[in-house]
C-alpha cells in the first residue's frame, strides 16, 4: 500500500499525461476532479470557477453542491480572496463556512492562478475531521498547476 506522498506522486504522473493543454480548462477540470475523487475517496471533489464576481460550480464528483459562492465567503471564497491554499481541520469552527453538505467536516481549497489572477479553486471536502495537511497542499497545488 502506498503512503500519501507516493499516492500523490502516482496521481500527479497520471494527470501529467491526461491533462491536455489543447482542450479547454473545464474539460481538464472534469478529468482532474474524477481522478482525484476516485483515487483519494473523499466526500466531494471539484472546482468552482470565477465568473464575474462570484465562484460558480464547475466540474465535480460527489453529492450535489452549492452553485455559487460570493467573493471572500466560505473556505472557497477565502482561497480566492487571499490567493492562498486553505486547510481547515474542522469546518464547523470556520466562521464563514458554507454548509453545502452536512456530512463535510474538513476541507482543503487550492486557488488556481494564472497571470497572478485566480480563475478557479479546487475544493475537496472530507467526512473526517483533520483530513488534510501540508502534503495534500503541496501535491494538490502541483496538480492545479497542470491546468
Domain ranges in the chain are 4-13+23-145
Strand-by-strand arrangement of the 106-114 sheet: 68-70, 54-61, 44-51, 117-126, 106-114, 86-88
- 102 pLDDT above the threshold of 90: no
Measured CA angle at 11 (ends 119, 110), to 5 deg? 30
CB 128 within 8 A of CB 106: yes
Give how far Cα 56 sits from Cα of 47, 70, 90, 98, 121, Å: 9, 9, 24, 14, 10
Instruction: Check pLDDT > 80 for residue 9.
Output: yes
The fold of 4-13+23-145 is Beta-Lactamase (3.30.450)
- The average confidence (pLDDT) of the chain is 95
Q: What is the pLDDT of residues 57-92, one digit of tens each?
A: 999 999 999 999 999 999 999 999 999 999 999 998
Give me the pLDDT at residue 100, please. 74
Amino acid at each position: 500500500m502506498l503512503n500519501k506522498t507516493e499516492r500523490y506522486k502516482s496521481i500527479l504522473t497520471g494527470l501529467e499525461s491526461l491533462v491536455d493543454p489543447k482542450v479547454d480548462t473545464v474539460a481538464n477540470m472534469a478529468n482532474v476532479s474524477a481522478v482525484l475523487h476516485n483515487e483519494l475517496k473523499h466526500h466531494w471533489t471539484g472546482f468552482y470557477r470565477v465568473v464575474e464576481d462570484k465562484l460558480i460550480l464547475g466540474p465535480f464528483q460527489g453529492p450535489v453542491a452549492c452553485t455559487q459562492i460570493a467573493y471572500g465567503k466560505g473556505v472557497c471564497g477565502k482561497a480566492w480572496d487571499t490567493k492562498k491554499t486553505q486547510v481547515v481541520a474542522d469546518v464547523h469552527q470556520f466562521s464563514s463556512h458554507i454548509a453545502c453538505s452536512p456530512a463535510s467536516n474538513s476541507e482543503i481549497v487550492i486557488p488556481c492562478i494564472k497571470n497572478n489572477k485566480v480563475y478557479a479553486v479546487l475544493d475537496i471536502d472530507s467526512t473526517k475531521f483533520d483530513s488534510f495537511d501540508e502534503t495534500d497542499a503541496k501535491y494538490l497545488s502541483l496538480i492545479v498547476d497542470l491546468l
